[in-house]
Amino acid sequence: MRTVFIKVLLLTLVSFSAMAQRKPAHVLIIGLDGFSAQGYKTAKHPNLDKLFADGVLSLTTRPVMPSVTLPNWTSHLTGSGPEEHGITANDWTLEKHTLLPLETDQDGYYPSIFKVLKESIPTVKTGYYYNWKELINPINKKYLDEVSFEEKDEYKGNYQKAFDFMVKNKQNPTLTFLYSVHTDHAGHGFGWMTPEYIKAIEDADVEIGILLDKLKKDGLYKDMHILLITDHGGINKGHGGISMVEMQVPWAITGPQVKKNGIITSFNSNKNTSLVLAKIFGISKLPESWTGTIPKNVFK
């Protein structure tokens, strides 16, 4: 009996030791609004190419419908489609909307990945950086530790703030959401696939490269999971329809748990992103109303 007790005690100590030595999970989401698969194939983005050469890239990921901004970013961050979370247009607010969500927290918000993380991992730190003011409307800010809004399509300041946030909280698990709308606005202003739109993508790649270099120098990059996500493509100077250039977008991920599979063509949807994030953080208990799935050929 004593021998069994000692064995159990030793196994417990080993388990606690392993937990103590386990590095905290750090995840960076890079979001570029209106970034089409067609744009990805045309623009030059050496930093993104190098980043995801060790991971997975989908150029056939489907946005949710309608192919507009707020429903899709909400789907990324809530593991659900508009039919579940209720955001069907860009003018959605907590106070004024038509379609009721299937589930809400005590403040009336549909459950986001930030809520799931905060309730599952008390030490996690969450950052949210954006430059389109309506973007944050469906997200309950009480689950965010740092929020920064940058005006007039500027985004470089937020890239620096996001880096500072990750460095400051390197001893904690972190989820950093870093978004820019300037790519979408280039599409609306000049047209999708115009030189100006392509330049907006390439300009973002430069800033992403600068950020990645900083993360490498600080030692954070090696064990970090990084995602590239977007909401929709575009046609002429608009979007919201069902053409393939609107309904196919890039989605990419790299990190310690991710296969080095290169381009994959298996089914993926914007509403799968939060399920992927939950898996990285080791969370299995998810809201019952979430309908996303973990895409095939991504994890080791």
What are the tens digits of pLDDT across the range 203-254? Answer: 999 999 999 999 999 999 999 999 999 999 999 999 999 999 999 999 999 9
* Model pLDDT, residue 1: 52
Average pLDDT, the chain: 94
Residue 136, pLDDT above cutoff 70 = yes
The residue count for the chain: 300
Q: Residue 227 sits in a domain of what CATH number?
A: 3.40.720.10
- Within-domain flag for 243: yes
Residue 127, pLDDT above cutoff 80 = yes
56-61/146-149 β-pairing: unpaired
* Model pLDDT, residue 86: 98
Angle (CA) 68 72 74, round 5°: 130
- Within-domain flag for 289: no
- Within-domain flag for 83: yes
Domain coverage including residue 83: 23-280
- Within-domain flag for 17: no
Please compute the mean of the pLDDT values over residues 147-162 and round it to a whole number.
Answer: 98
SS3 sequence of 237-265 = CECCCCCCCCCCEEEEEECCCECCCEEEC
Closest to 195 (Cα-Cα) out of 15, 39, 29? 39
* Model pLDDT, residue 15: 38
Closest to 154 (Cα-Cα) out of 177, 183, 131? 131
* Model pLDDT, residue 116: 98
Residue 18, pLDDT above cutoff 60 = no
3-state DSSP assignment of residue 27: strand
- pLDDT tens digits for range 30-85: 999 999 999 999 999 999 999 999 999 999 999 999 999 999 999 999 999 999 99
Residue 11, pLDDT above cutoff 60 = no
pLDDT-derived band at 273, boundaries 50, 70, 90: very high
Query: In this prediction, what percent of the chain has a pLDDT beyond 70?
Result: 93
- Within-domain flag for 244: yes
125-130/174-180 β-pairing: parallel
Residue 10, pLDDT above cutoff 80 = no
Residue 2, pLDDT above cutoff 90 = no
* Model pLDDT, residue 23: 83
Query: Would you tell me the crossing angle of helices 195-218 and 156-168 to the nearest 10 degrees?
Result: 20
- Within-domain flag for 147: yes
- pLDDT tens digits for range 90-123: 999 999 999 999 999 999 999 999 999 999 999 9
Residue 4, pLDDT above cutoff 60 = no
Number of domains in the chain: 1
- Within-domain flag for 176: yes
H-helix or E-strand spanning residue 59: strand 56-61
Residue 159, pLDDT above cutoff 50 = yes
